[in-house]
Structure 1
Amino acid sequence: MFRTPPPPAADFTGKRVIVTGGSRGLGAAIVQRLLDGGATVVATARTATDETPAAATFLTGDVGTLAGVQSFAAAALAELGGLDVLVNNAGAARAHPGGVSSIPDEEWLDALDVNYLSAVRLTNALLPALREAGAGGVIVNISSAAALVPSPPVAHYSAAKAALNAYGKALAAELAPAGIRVATLSPGNVLTPGADALRQTIADAVGISLADIAAGVPLGRAGDPRDVAEAVAYLASDRAQWVTGASLVIDGGELPVF
């Protein structure tokens, strides 16, 4: 069970933040944590949900296309008047129990657009605003443990997230002289509607339950979205001012130790 930590300090007071995929699950938890820290947050997704934090400004959008990214970036900057923190959280995929060769070409392309190129395109669109804000800007990319231990049914998703990891490393080196930090988080089995549906498809295909999947986590439970939101809050805050180019796995110890 997730143990609620003490109330967050006002470590984001005055900070202007954008979070993609912010309508539910992981994204909604990240949005809420940054709001609790005093940030002004603009969130986007294709649709809002009952989970979408009401205190955030929600802009409907599709960051899976270049046109959608450009439209959202302009609207978000008009709302915020600038930018201090960008959280590239948008992500989605459909599991194919038939394995790598059963994934159709259009889904490989869609996986790249949503899980990788959305971050590249939005970062490119927002970099001038981050540079204008000066040293202290932060980009946090939400990847996946699947990028490190790929599974055949979601090879397209794993490949796109692996590309995101490499992109984040390169971007961190490029932006460091400007004082802009970049970090990547790779969550494991976190309980969210999208991830649960993905895992259920895989579990059904191999004849196990979702509980069986969670049983393999050394810390004894699946992740809560707030586990990841707390890590985002650390990396996006001045507490992590000497952290850039980092890739943090948050999975309860599930990934194999090499």
Structure 2
Amino acid sequence: MENLDYQNELSGKIALVTGGTKGAGKAIAERLNQAGAKVIITARNRPESLNKEQYFISVDLSKPEGAAKVAAEVFEKFGKLDILVNNLGGSETPGGGFVALTDRDWEETIQTNLLAPVRLDKAFLPQMVNNKSGVIIHIASIQGRLPLYDSTLPYAAAKAGLINYSKGLSKEVSAKGVRVLTVSPGWIMTESSERMMERIAESSDISIEAATQSVMDALGGIPYGRPAQPEEIAELVGFLVSPRAGYLTGTEYVIDGGTIPTI
């Protein structure tokens, strides 16, 4: 996408993007960099190439101690946090529907997609409230409204919980100067999605375009005609954390190319 002039609107701000080494998280981190923020990213493993303008923390946020580690390091190195983007998420549960899922599948998915954001919010909110300033973004998913039962039901349930929690939290802290918002993307064409399309195309002996169409069909269609690009998600987040969105809080923003078929 074309680089826009953000006029350093986030200059002086400290931002944390979880899962910020790939996909939408990487795009969000780069977008906040472009706006002048100092960006901290987290992931379990250090990426082979790292943006020298970003500060990396290796951590497993699915574990209860992960949030405490991140908060301690952020406050030690930077003294504050202005923007928290809870982007980390994903599903590794097997196909086969409800009966194929174990307690461990449910627990691990909920830890990563719901409790990790809750713990990070708890770690950073007192400082934001004390400063009467801050923005928290929860990256959810349209599966919070449009669950796919075959292989991602725990993920869908966790994201639905995240959306509900985000709304409730906004009611508590908005009056204290902290904005809380939810972004719910549809299908994003990340590098992992591209690899998945290659695997589907090879196994089904079809083109990558046909493989992409088959996934869109499984979602019930995407009226816009294609998945989102990570940069498109990042652009929405970049706006929401900026002063230009200063009156927005407690709202879910769906960015799915029209995938959800209802209002």
With the length of structure 2 as denominator, give the TM-score of the two structures.
Answer: 0.89
Matched-pair identity in % = 35
- Tell me by how many angstroms 1:207 deviates: 10
| Aligned pairs (5 A) from 1:118-133 | 118-133=116-131
Q: Specify which of 212, 215, 218 is matched with residue 213 of structure 1.
A: 215
1:140 match: secondary structure: strand
- Is the Cα contact below 8 Å between 2:105 and 2:154 reproduced in 1? yes
**1:69–1:98 Cα change, 3 Å:** same
Distance 2:200 2:129 in 1: 43
- Is the Cα contact below 8 Å between 2:228 and 2:256 reproduced in 1? yes
Distance 1:133 1:146 in 2: 34
Query: What are the ranges of 5 or more consecutive residues in structure 2 without an aligned counterpart?
Result: none
Give 2:183's aligned residue: 185
- 2:145 equivalent to 1:148: yes
Q: Residues 163-191 of structure 1, C-alpha deviation per residue, up to 9 Å, x if partnerless?
A: 10011000000001101100000000101
- Is the Cα contact below 8 Å between 1:138 and 1:180 reproduced in 2? yes
- Aligned residues between the structures: 255
* Letter of the structure 2 residue corresponding to residue 250 of structure 1: I
Give 1:238's aligned residue: 243
Give 1:165's aligned residue: 163
Q: Residues 9-67 of structure 1, C-alpha deviation per residue, up to 9 Å, x if partnerless?
A: 31101111111111111111000000000001111110132464331101111111111
Give 2:258's aligned residue: 253
- Is the Cα contact below 8 Å between 2:85 and 2:139 reproduced in 1? yes
- Tell me by how many angstroms 1:202 deviates: 9.3
Distance 2:181 2:71 in 1: 21
Distance 1:4 1:168 in 2: 31
Give 2:108's aligned residue: 110
**1:205–1:182 Cα change, 3 Å:** farther
Q: Residues 45-93 of structure 1, C-alpha deviation per residue, up to 9 Å, x if partnerless?
A: 1013246433110111111111111111111221221011100011121
- Tell me by how many angstroms 1:210 deviates: 2.8
**1:88–1:205 Cα change, 3 Å:** farther
**1:220–1:68 Cα change, 3 Å:** same
- Tell me by how many angstroms 1:128 deviates: 1.7
- 2:63 equivalent to 1:65: yes
Give 1:55's aligned residue: 53
With the length of structure 1 as denominator, give the TM-score of the two structures.
Answer: 0.91
Give 1:139's aligned residue: 136
- Tell me by how many angstroms 1:133 deviates: 2.6
- Tell me by how many angstroms 1:130 deviates: 1.2
Query: What are the ranges of 5 or more consecutive residues in structure 1 without an aligned counterpart?
Result: none
Distance 1:50 1:133 in 2: 36
Distance 1:200 1:175 in 2: 45
Give 1:228's aligned residue: 233
Distance 1:48 1:240 in 2: 32
* Letter of the structure 2 residue corresponding to residue 41 of structure 1: V
2:152 match: secondary structure: helix
Give 1:12's aligned residue: 10
Q: Specify which of 8, 13, 20 is matched with residue 22 of structure 1.
A: 20
